[in-house]
Amino acid sequence: MRTVITGLLKGRIIRWGIAAAVLAAAGLSVAWLGPVHYRLGGGFIGNPAGSSGLYWSAYQAPLDSAGLTAALRVNVYSDTGTTAGLLAYSGADTLSEGIGQLAMVSNDTAKGSLVFYGLKQGATPQVKQIWTWVGTITFTSPDAYNVGGMMNVYSADADADGDGRPDPGAEPLFAFPLPLAVTRVLP
């Protein structure tokens, strides 16, 4: 029996096969030790304590199976009065939902942008303002992330070409940083 095993181990194919198996196992072991890669997707709510009193929600719909890109929808439900004051500046009285996209730029951070509209409610709502957010989300765990970036508020007149976004070079009426804390809605 020993001679059969020794004979097999002496064969070139067997030696190279064992070497390949050992290298593959070592590679998989190292991969498990690597950094966590977070994925976009799911329903989230803003933490009012970490979001300047805002109550809001976000829905990320993945655009690829790896969760590297996602469509983003954000709804704001209440605020501390700041939003109402900014809306009133241009005669608006409500903020539409925001729509945009996110793309992972590292294992824990995604860059993105959103567009909201400041509306004057009525039989036919009128767009009075365009709000844009450009920034990042940084995952702190699979179920939480922090938002950073700038919110810019433009007059609706800043969209002369009618594409729904401020024209290049348009000056915002207001610009402010937007730090927010977010947690996933779990079953």
Q: Which residue has the tokens 């983003």?
A: 72
Domain identity same for 24 and 59 = no
Question: Nearest CA to 58 among 126, 106, 116, 108?
Answer: 116
pLDDT at 24: 57
Cβ atoms of 114 and 95 within 8 Å: the answer is: no
CATH number at residue 175: 2.40.128
Residue 84's domain spans which residues?
42-184
**What integer best gives the mean pLDDT of the chain?**
87
Q: Are strands 180-184 and 98-104 parallel, antiparallel or unpaired?
A: unpaired
Backbone dihedral angles phi then psi of residue 148, each to the nearest 5 degrees: -135, 155
Backbone dihedral angles phi then psi of residue 87, each to the nearest 5 degrees: -65, -45
Domain identity same for 129 and 164 = yes
CA angle 42, 164, 88 (to 5 degrees): 90
What would the two tokens of residue 70 be? 């996602």
Average pLDDT of the segment spanning 51-68: 92
What would the two tokens of residue 50 be? 């970490």
Q: What is the pLDDT of residues 140-172, one digit of tens each?
A: 999 999 999 999 999 999 999 999 999 999 999
Domain identity same for 83 and 54 = yes
Q: Which residue has the tokens 């020794």?
A: 6
Q: What is the pLDDT of residues 106-122, one digit of tens each?
A: 999 999 999 999 999 99
Helix (H) or strand (E) holding 150: strand 144-155
Q: What is the pLDDT of residues 4-32, one digit of tens each?
A: 555 555 555 556 666 555 555 555 444 44
Domain identity same for 12 and 97 = no
Domain identity same for 60 and 22 = no
Question: Nearest CA to 43 among 80, 75, 79?
Answer: 75
Domain identity same for 76 and 166 = yes
pLDDT at 13: 58
Sign of CA pseudo-dihedral 55, 121, 102, 187: positive
Number of compact structural domains in the chain: 2
Domain identity same for 129 and 159 = yes
